[in-house]
Amino acid sequence: MAKIYSENSIKNLNELEPRKETVNFILNYSKALSVINCNKMKFEALLN
């Protein structure tokens, strides 16, 4: 059974392409994300 799954996943791996909207969403999210270090603690803030 492992052989069947591995063959299909290798064939489909080359066909994966994210949509332009997905890439833009991830880039915009990463630009808005801010991590603040304060006394051994980390705070994540989404600056929108």
* Residue where the block lists tokens 């064939």: 11
In this predicted structure, what is the pLDDT of residue 46? 87
Distance CA 44, CA 34 (A): 6
- Asked if residue 35 lies in contact with residue 44, where contact means CB atoms within 8 angstroms, the answer is yes
| CA atoms lying within 13 Å on the CB side of residue 42 | 4
pLDDT at position 32 is 92
- pLDDT for the residue numbered 14: 62
Q: Which helix (H) or strand (E) holds 22?
A: helix 20-32
pLDDT along the chain (48 residues), means of 10: 58 75 93 91 87
**Which residue type does 25 have?**
F
Largest interatomic CA distance in the chain: 51
Check: pTM over 0.85? Answer yes or no.
no
